[in-house]
Every structure is written in C-alpha cells, then in structure tokens.
Structure 1
Amino acid sequence: MQKEKVEEKELDQNIEVNQEENTDQPVTENEESGAEAATAEEEPTELEKLSIELSEAKDKYLRLYSEFENFRRRTAKERIELIGSASKELIESLVPVLDDFERGLKSMEENEEMTPAKEGTELIYNKFKKILESKGLKKMEVNKGDDFNDDYHEAITQIPAEEELAGKIVDVVENGYFLSDKVVRFAKVVTGAKS
C-alpha cells in the first residue's frame, strides 16, 4: 500500500513537472493510463464490491436467523412455564382439599355406621386424587426414621427420642407433594432430639 502511494506521488510529480515545462502540450496517453492504473488499484472492482456485499448480506441473514430461532425457543419456553405456573397455583390450592378427604376417611373408619358414606367418599377421593396425579402431582414418600432433609421437609417441632432417631423424622403431620419434580408443599414433620 505504501509502495503504491509512493508510486502515485512520483507519478503526480512527473505530471506536474511535465505540465509546467509544456503547458501548451497536452498530456500523453501513457501519463493518463498511469494515473488511471493507480486509481484502479485503490478502488475495488465491481465484482469485488458485489462479493463483499454478498458476504455482508449472508452474515446479516445468519445473525438475524439465529436471533429469530433464539426468540422462538425463548417464547415457547416462557409459554410452557406460564401454563405450568398457572396450574401450579390451582393445584396448590387443591392440596388442602386432598388432606381434608384423608382426614375424613380416617374418622369414618372408627364409626361402623358410616360405612356407606365412607365408600362414597372413597370413590370421590380416588377420582380427585387421580385427576391431580394426571396433572403431575405426586405425594412425597416420607416415613418414620428417614433422615431430615430441609429441601423437602419442614420441621414443626422436636421431641425427645431414642438415640437412633436423633435428627431423624419421628412423625409426619402433613404430607408433602411434588409437582413436576418441584416441591409444591413441604412435608410437615416432627424430628427427634437427643434426650
């Protein structure tokens, strides 16, 4: 590039000298073609311009396409999360009703006169439970003697217990539930403390 500029300066100087010496004489064809060649080397040809424009257009297209794909994926994911969160709120509000059914069934077991009512209540309970399970609700399996895990359990109290139950679950007061592998409600438990 510097070599081209030096040659161009020399050419311009020669032209000026020739013009000063021969102001009456026209510029020769060799001098004109040299000046045109110098400017032609600086400017890209029409084909080079078109190839540069094409590569820029391709790059712009690829960037726009990838941005659109990211947008499409993001909106689809947000839509799924929105639907999931709407059903989560509904299911969270229905979980206490499930607990009430379980308590009602336990109380009916003690009274033999309630057998027909118990059977009807069990039918409704099972149907209600299956509907919630089909929507992704899953009961947390918590048993006496399991290790306490604050990611899934909520300790409401501690009671003195044997050495082997210290720091472990002694009793389950209220069941916990998952919705699509996320905790909807923590299991309320009683833990054992060293006596």
Structure 2
Amino acid sequence: MKEKDKDKLKEKPVEETTENTLEETKTPSTVDEKLEGIQRELEGVKDKYLRALAEMENFKKRNSEELKRERKYAAQPIADKLIDQLEVFEQALNIQTEDANFKNFLYGFKMIKDMLFNVLVDEGVKKINLVPGDAFDPNTMEPIEAIYDPNQPENTIIKVVKNGYMFKDRLLRPVTVVINQKPETEEQSETKNENLDGNVA
C-alpha cells in the first residue's frame, strides 16, 4: 500500500470523531433552546389564561350586582302606579260629612287604603313626612308656587300640596310644596338679566 493511502486512512477517523464531537456539543444547546421556547410559550398561555379568568370573574360580579339591583327595584313600577290610587283614596278620606252612614263608609275606605299602603311599605315604599316650616330640599321636593311670609324663615315649606314617596333609597315621587321665598326687587331682577345678557354675549 502506498504511503499516501495510509495517510488518508489515518485521517478519516479523526474527521468522524470531530464531527461527532460537534454534534454532541450542539445537541444539548439546541434542546435547551427548544425548552426555553416552550417555556416562554407556556408562560404566555398561562398569562392569557389568568387574564381570561380574571375577566370572567369580573363579568360574574358585574352580572351578579346587576341582578341584585334588578331584584331590589323590581317592584318600583307597580309601586309608582299604586301610589296614584292611594292619592285618590287620600282625597276621598278628606271629605267632611256629618252623615253617620257615610262616615262608616269612609272608615272602611280608610282601612282598605291602609292595607294597600302597608303592602307597599313591606316592598320598600316610605312616605316623605313634611310639615310647614321644614326647610326646602330640592332633592326630594318640587315647588309649584312661592309666596312670601315675613314672619317665616325663607326657603321653608308653607304648604304640602301633594305627598312624596321614597322607594328604598330612590326617590319615587317628590313632595309638591309651596315655599316661602322673598320676591325679587326690580333692581335684583334687572341685575340678574344683565348678568344673563353678559353670559350670552
């Protein structure tokens, strides 16, 4: 055998050994990179899952709160309609008479009215109790007239025209009132008009 061929045979195993060594060196690194990639993907999926879970919980809470509100105020439309009928009863009971039979009739009428109102009270209706002299509250009262009595404090109730009612924590109907309010002088009225004109300009 020629010397040249012997050299080739000797060199070949060295090349194979080198290639195997390189493959062994690269393989763990490639696996680690793949594992890191998979781990990142899993972290992303986990993050999306947790976000979706949090959104679902928030949706459930909102939905539950809305259902509670709907149940809480479910009787409000019926209560509003029945209040009108109770006001008719109230007007009828204010009729003055000396007739004994009619008085008995009104007494029975009052019993029916009280029973109906008690049903509404059980559902959360409450009458807004006011008396003349109470301070005017724009949140629960509606003035239909203003008169001035210098012997009474300003912005107080002179007369309750129509009863008002609350339904739980909501205003069902404002109290219609006449309030005590000092009339504006001509000078005050002109000043107010000038201010309004200035704001418009």
> TM-score of the superposition, structure 2-length normalised?
0.71
Looking at structure 2, the residues matched to 111 and 28 of structure 1 have their Cα atoms a distance apart, in angstroms, of 128
Looking at structure 1, the residues matched to 164 and 87 of structure 2 have their Cα atoms a distance apart, in angstroms, of 10
Query: What one-letter code is carried by the residue in structure 2 that aligns with 1:92?
Result: D
Looking at structure 2, the residues matched to 169 and 158 of structure 1 have their Cα atoms a distance apart, in angstroms, of 9
Matched with 2:85 is 97
1:139 is displaced (CA, Å) by: 0.7
Percent sequence identity is 29
Query: What one-letter code is carried by the residue in structure 2 that aligns with 1:151?
Result: N
* CA shift in 2, pair 1:160/1:44, >3 Å: same
User: What RMSD over aligned residues (CA atoms) do the two structures have, in Å?
Assistant: 2.8
Looking at structure 1, the residues matched to 23 and 149 of structure 2 have their Cα atoms a distance apart, in angstroms, of 102
* CA shift in 2, pair 1:25/1:137, >3 Å: same
Matched with 1:179 is 167
Looking at structure 2, the residues matched to 161 and 128 of structure 1 have their Cα atoms a distance apart, in angstroms, of 38
Does residue 75 of the first structure (1) align with residue 67 of the second (2)? no
> TM-score of the superposition, structure 1-length normalised?
0.73
Structure 1, unmatched stretches of 5+, are 1-23
Secondary structure class of the residue paired with 2:32: coil
* CA shift in 2, pair 1:188/1:40, >3 Å: same
Q: CA deviation digits over 1:150-176, x for unaligned, max 9? A: 111101000121253321111110111
The aligned runs of 1:2-81 (5 Å cut-off) are 25=12, 27-34=15-22, 36-38=24-26, 40-41=28-29, 43-44=31-32, 48=36, 51-52=39-40, 54-81=42-69
1:51 is displaced (CA, Å) by: 4.8
Q: CA deviation digits over 1:10-69, x for unaligned, max 9? A: xxxxxxxxxxxxxx9574434543455356435536765665455444433332322222
1:183 is displaced (CA, Å) by: 0.4
Matched with 2:129 is 141
Matched with 1:152 is 140
Looking at structure 1, the residues matched to 77 and 48 of structure 2 have their Cα atoms a distance apart, in angstroms, of 43
Question: Which of these residues, 94, 98, 102, is aligned with residue 111 of structure 1?
Answer: 98
Matched with 2:192 is none
1:131 is displaced (CA, Å) by: 0.5
Q: CA deviation digits over 1:81-126, x for unaligned, max 9? A: 334454222211111111111111121x543422211221121111
Looking at structure 2, the residues matched to 66 and 36 of structure 1 have their Cα atoms a distance apart, in angstroms, of 45
